[in-house]
């Protein structure tokens, strides 16, 4: 059976049916529609004001690649300037390939690129060193927790370095639905309450952040990259298979198979969530060590690094964090060595 005509231009043959609506579109019309929807998200949400200097978190993966490409197309209409900021987490045998993809993108699109490294920002700690430090502590499965907190801080530092006024990341609807599920499963009411909306306004001196792809499904992000023939790095991070997020992802796939709207339903539920006054966390203050926004004496990044430097990484995550005030001998980061396998977390 021949493919139907594109429902938008009524000229070309349709190349796909949109996963959610079933609308048949050719590749060109799909890409134009995708870009128009991202533009609507940015404008309706007032995410990026005219004149904004935008730091795009660039990991080399599909999401950040699509985000950078779409914003580059929309930049003249939005009156914004873009600067790619990549983070080198120090994952041997893997991150170099992802950074190479980012450098190719920056050269092809003529966008400025700045790379910041964990080792430079965090006293020599790399993700490989963190993984070795936590290997015997019962926290080896929490590498993604360490990396997520440190990468957020590194991206903020990189954005400030280039004079950015706003930070954007490539989280799509599936990513956000997984995060909502994870926070529900953990019983983390504070993060559930903060997770709604399309970003954060930049409290306590932090730069405003937003997620222009938050309402775009992962399937359509991949389709856009395919039809635009974008060059991106597609290997999974070597530390990702043990992450808790993988269980949430599997559960979400089952939910979506039974209820196709499950992803967006979860995203919108987080937007509408309101905590009872008694359950609301206290207003955040400033980290006593670095001055960043924090709900405790130490911000998450400083707490994680404190536990690592004491040789007690259990103190940095979860219940063990209660013991952060306990004294312990400082510990030097272990020298990096390449792991045996390869792969990149996306922003």
Q: What is the pLDDT of residues 298-341, one digit of tens each?
A: 888 999 998 888 887 754 455 444 444 444 444 555 554 443 33
What is the Cα–Cα distance from 221 to 211, expressed in whole angstroms? Answer: 13
What is the Cα–Cα distance from 326 to 315, expressed in whole angstroms? Answer: 9
What is the Cα–Cα distance from 171 to 211, expressed in whole angstroms? Answer: 6
At residue 294, the pLDDT reads 84
Alpha helices in the chain (DSSP H): 27-44, 62-78, 95-109, 118-121, 127-134, 143-161, 173-186, 189-194, 218-227, 245-258, 262-272, 300-309
Q: Does residue 36 sit in helix, strand or coil?
A: helix
User: Are the C-beta atoms of residues 284 and 203 closer than 8 Å to each other?
Assistant: yes
DSSP label of 318: G
Sites in the chain below the pLDDT cut of 50: 138-140, 315-316, 319-330, 336-347
Conformational region of residue 38, where left means phi above 0, alpha means psi within -120 to 50, and beta covers everything else: alpha
Domains, the chain, in order of start with CATH, read 27-273 (3.40.50.620), 285-317 (no CATH)
Q: What is the DSSP string of 180-209?
A: HHHHHHHT-HHHHHHS-SSEE--GGGPPPE
Q: Is 97 one of the annotated binding-site residues? A: no
**Mean pLDDT value across the chain:** 85
Q: Is 57 one of the annotated binding-site residues? A: yes
Which residue pairs from 297-300 have beta carbons closer than 8 angstroms and sit at least 24 positions apart in sequence?
A: 297/324, 297/325, 298/324, 300/149
At residue 336, the pLDDT reads 47
At residue 332, the pLDDT reads 54
Q: Is 175 one of the annotated binding-site residues? A: yes
At residue 195, the pLDDT reads 66
Q: Is 58 one of the annotated binding-site residues? A: yes
Q: Is 231 one of the annotated binding-site residues? A: no
């Amino acid at each position: 059976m021949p493919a139907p005509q594109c429902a938008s231009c009524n000229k070309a043959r349709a190349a796909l049916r949109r996963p959610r609506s079933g609308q048949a579109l050719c590749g060109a019309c799909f890409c134009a529609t995708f870009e128009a929807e991202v533009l609507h998200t940015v404008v309706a949400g007032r995410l990026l004001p005219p004149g904004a200097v935008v730091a795009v978190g660039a990991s080399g993966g599909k999401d950040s690649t699509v985000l950078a490409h779409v914003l580059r197309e929309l930049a003249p209409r939005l009156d914004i300037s873009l600067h790619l900021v990549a983070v080198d987490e120090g994952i041997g045998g893997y991150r170099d390939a992802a950074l190479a993809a980012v450098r190719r993108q920056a050269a092809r699109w003529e966008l400025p690129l700045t790379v910041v490294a964990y080792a430079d920002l965090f006293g020599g700690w790399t993700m490989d060193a963190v993984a070795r430090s936590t290997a015997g502590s019962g926290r080896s499965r929490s590498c993604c927790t360490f990396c997520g907190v440190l990468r957020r801080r590194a991206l903020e530092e990189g954005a400030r370095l280039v004079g950015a006024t706003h930070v954007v990341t490539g989280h799509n609807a599936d990513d956000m639905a997984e995060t909502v599920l994870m926070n529900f499963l953990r019983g983390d009411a504070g993060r559930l309450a903060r997770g709604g909306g399309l970003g954060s306004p930049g409290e306590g001196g932090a730069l405003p952040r937003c997620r222009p792809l938050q309402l775009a499904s992962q399937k359509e992000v991949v389709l856009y990259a395919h039809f635009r023939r974008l060059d991106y790095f597609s290997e999974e991070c070597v530390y990702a298979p043990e992450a808790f997020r993988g269980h949430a992802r599997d559960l979400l796939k089952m939910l979506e198979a039974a209820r196709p709207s499950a992803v967006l339903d979860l995203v919108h539920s987080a937007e509408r969530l309101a905590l009872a006054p008694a359950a609301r966390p206290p207003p955040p203050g400033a980290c006593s060590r670095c001055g960043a926004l924090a709900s405790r004496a130490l911000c998450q990044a400083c707490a994680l690094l404190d536990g690592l430097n004491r040789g007690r990484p259990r103190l940095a995550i979860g219940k063990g964090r209660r013991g952060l005030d306990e004294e312990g001998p400082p510990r030097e980061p272990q020298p990096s060595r390449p792991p045996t396998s390869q792969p990149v977390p996306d922003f």
